[in-house]
Structure formats: structure tokens, C-alpha cells
Copies of this chain bind each other. A is one copy, B any other.
Amino acid sequence: MTSQAPLTYDQAGVNYDLIDPLKITAQRAAAATASHLAGHGFSEVKASRGESAYVVDVGPFYMASIVECLGTKTLVADEMARQTGKSFFAGIAQDTIAMAVNDLITVGATPLVVQAYWAAGGSDWFGDAQRAQALVAGWKAACDTCQVAWGGGETPALAGIVEDGRIDLAASCTGLINPKERLSVGDKLGADDAIVLLASSGIHANGLSLARKLAERLPRGYLTEIEPGLTYGEALLAPTALYSPVTEALWKAGIAPHYCANITGHGWRKLLRHPSALTYRIHTVPPKTAVLDFIQKQAGQDDREAYSTLNMGAGFAIFVKAADAERTAQVARDCGIAAWVAGTVEAGEKQLLIEPLNIRFSEDDLALR
């Protein structure tokens, strides 16, 4: 392994440089449609443009909505099913819902309804009853955890678009920000706020292209043990943590986050998501989960590369006033999710300083708007 070149995210096949310009054009066209809401007596929350969920002021409360893709994690589940005979689609269902719910809650919304988008490469996919039932059971269990209603969804067979034997999974989620003071689109974010990081359960559902590429370099592939009794494949398939129980518990505890960031694609650079010019100084770095530590070492990534693409043990960031920081972490722990008061927000140029690792990310490292 050590003789091989380091494996970067671009080499793993995802080129954000090709996607991001289209994304920016689309965002501009989308912004120009906001005026339609006035015809219905409503208006958008402009600060939600570019955030993880879109927010509309409908009078008595705000309405938030989102659609999110699982990504390529099913390819790992498919390969592990082939090699072990086990089905991992209950966990995959949780991953998919987590992608939507964890984004929706960043703006302060209570998720209410999830819709399923299960686009298979052919009708045959649904004929494997065991796998299909696992998907249904896992989807329902994740809805139960998030106290969200599963509204329905779409189960198309898309031969010629989705590859034979594969499935493209996504979820849409709609929620309300109620009461309106729960809105957290960053207008209250400022110097002296604390940064609380919530533990991830593993790789979650971002960075899988890299993780799959890496499996090809391992002599035993997904069956490589990363610690006694735990294979690389199983570790990758740990379902993504669901954070909405934490944000709901925070509100019940009287804590209103100033801002939240779901740490997904672009890794810790997501901490720079808000457009404000502020410095984010991290003094405490959560432990890496075993699978992320393994990936970093095997891929030969330095810390900067690893933290710029993977969650590295922190799946969600909550920005609160300093006086609420310890209590915020405790509320998360009471929900069964490890949490750390990890840093502070300061006046100053837009940058993220991960001091224990001597890493600095600047605004140029994250061009999402």
C-alpha cells in the first residue's frame, strides 16, 4: 500500500469543478423565481438561498423543503450483499432519510413529511423481496426515529438510465419552523458564538466514491478487517446518524441555535458555509471514527485533504451562544450522540482554523454560491 500514490477525491471520479458552475447558474435562475410567492400572499426567506433547505414565510410559520440524494453508498451495500449474503438496505434507507432530514433541520425546521424516491434500473430490483422489505423496514424505522410522517413516494423502473441491478435513492422532506423564532439561517450568527460538534457514526453518505476506489486497492477489499471483527465494508455501511432528535430536544430545552451546518460533501469546509465574514477557530477535534482513520491512512491523505472531504468524526455542527454551549453538548449526549464544545466564532476574515491539526481553510476553499 505505502508504495502507491495518495488517492484524492478528484481521482475517485467526482469533479466538483464541472458541477459547481452549473450549480451556480441554476441557483441564480432559481433566485429569480422567488417573486412568484408574492402572487400567493407569501415570500421567501432570502437568507435561506444557498442554505441546506429553502424556507418560505407562509404567515403563521415558515415552511422548509429539500430533496436530497443518497449518492453511491448502495454500490457498497450491493457488493457486501454479494460477498456476505447479508442485506444492508435497512441501513441504506436510514442513510437516505438522514441526507434529507439532517439538511432540513439546519434552518430550524421540524421535519414533518418525508417522500421516498426509489428509482431502480428495472422492475426486477423490486422483485427481490428480502432486499425490498429491508428498504421499507429501514425507511419506516428512520421515520419513527425522526418522528416524521412518510407521505409516499415514487418507485420507477428506469432501465437505460439507472444501471441494471442498481437503485438511485433520494428523499424529499418538508417541515415547518414553528414558532418562527426557531429560524436559524445565520442572521444571529456572530463573534463569541460557540461551535458544538456532534459525532458522526462513520463515513455517513459522503466520500463513498473515494472509499470504493480504496477498496479496489485492498487485497481483501471490503472484507479487510479495520479492527477485530469489523470489516471495512460493514464499517462503511454504518447508517448515517439522524440529528433531528437533537435539534428537537434543543428547542424543548430552550436553546435556539444561531446556525447549523450538516457536514457532508466538502467535509469540514462546510463549517464555512455561512456567507458572513467570520473566523471559526476549532480548539477541540473529535476522535476520528475507525473507518475514517482507516481511509485516511490507506489513501495516504494528509489531514488537510482528509478534513476537506470527509466528516472525520463530526457529522453536524451547531453554532450557539457561548452560554448555551455546554448544555447543547449535553442535550445531544442525552439523545445518545457524542458531542464536543469544539471551538469559537470570532470577528475576522472568513476562515476555518483547525488549530490542533494546524489546518486553515479560507473562503476560496468553498465556492458554493
Interface set of A (CB-CB < 8 Å, partner B): 13-16, 18-19, 21-23, 25-27, 29-30, 32-34, 36-37, 39-40, 42, 44, 49, 53-54, 56, 58-61, 63, 65-69, 71-72, 74-75, 110, 112-113, 115-117, 119, 122-124, 126-127, 129, 132-133, 136-137, 139-140, 143-144, 147-163, 166-168, 170-172, 174, 176, 209, 212
Contact = CB atoms under 8 A, between A and B. Distances in A.
B162 A36 contact: no
Given A36-B144, A40-B147, A66-B115, A26 B155 contact: yes
Contacts of A172: 65, 67, 115, 172
20 contacts: A18-B124, A19-B155, A22-B126, A26-B153, A30-B140, A36-B148, A40-B110, A49-B152, A54-B149, A56-B151, A58-B61, A65-B113, A65-B172, A66-B115, A66-B151, A68-B154, A69-B117, A72-B161, A117-B170, A160-B212
A110 B37 CA distance: 11
Contacts of A67: 67, 115-117, 153-154, 170-172
A292 to B, nearest CB: 21
Given A34-B149, A63-B176, 13 more contacts: A18-B124, A22-B136, A26-B116, A29-B137, A36-B144, A37-B112, A54-B152, A65-B65, A65-B113, A65-B172, A72-B158, A154-B170, A161-B162
**Chain copies in the assembled complex:** 2
Nearest to A172: B172
Nearest to A14: B157
A13 B122 contact: yes
A293 B109 CA distance: 49
A110 B167 CA distance: 31
Contact of A140 (B32, B53, B124): B32
Chain A contact surface mostly: mixed
Contacts of A119: 69, 168, 170
B26 A123 contact: no
B29 A150 contact: yes
Nearest to A68: B154
Contacts of A148: 33, 36
A265 B357 CA distance: 55
Among A23, A33, A42, A159, the most chain B Cβ lie within 10 Å of the Cβ of A33
Given A18-B126, A60-B59, A158 B151 contact: no
Contacts of A167: 161
Contacts of A74: 161
A57 to B, nearest CB: 11
Query: Which 7 pairs from chain A and chain B are nearest by CB?
Result: A54-B151, A172-B172, A30-B150, A15-B123, A18-B123, A67-B115, A29-B140
Contacts of A59: 60
B34 A160 contact: no
